[in-house]
Amino acid sequence: MVSLNSALYKAHPDWCLHVPSRGRTTGRNQLVLDFTRKEVRDNIFGQLSDLLSSGNIAYVKWDCNRCVSSAWMGSWRSGVCHCVYCADPLRILTRFAPPCRFVVPIVL
């Protein structure tokens, strides 16, 4: 999720899922980040890595409870986008596994 008022969105408005010919769809006043893009995953991994190493953090909850209504990945079909999008946050979390023993990705 990304807020329209955030520095991340202002720097990279193309990093959210959207259909180019339509307006951007918000939910809970936020847009959905496109984790299918490597540069998005790398950026979020860097932010999480900095956050997790900055203090004594015992628990992080990462949920995906926002409806993805504006899925678009260039020439990909939107149904494929939903499947790929659900798997991509795991690509971020599994990068923590060896260096950070407290991050355990769980898919429900």
pLDDT tens readout for residues 53-75: 888 777 777 776 666 666 655 54
CA separation for the pair 53, 64 (Å, rounded): 23
- Residue 48: inside a domain: yes
| pTM for this model (two decimals) | 0.73
Q: Are the C-beta atoms of 33 and 15 separated by less than 8 Å?
A: yes
- Residue 57: inside a domain: yes
Task: With H, G, I as helix, E, B as strand and everything else as coil, classify residue 29.
Answer: coil
**Residue 106, number of CB atoms within 10 A of its CB:** 7
Domain that holds residue 68: 2-96
Which tens digits make up the pLDDT trace of 70-105? 665 554 555 556 666 666 677 777 776 655 555 555
- Residue 107: inside a domain: no
Domains in the chain, number: 1
DSSP sequence for 47-98: HHHHHHHSS----------S------BTTB-HHHHHHHHHHHHHHHHGGGTT
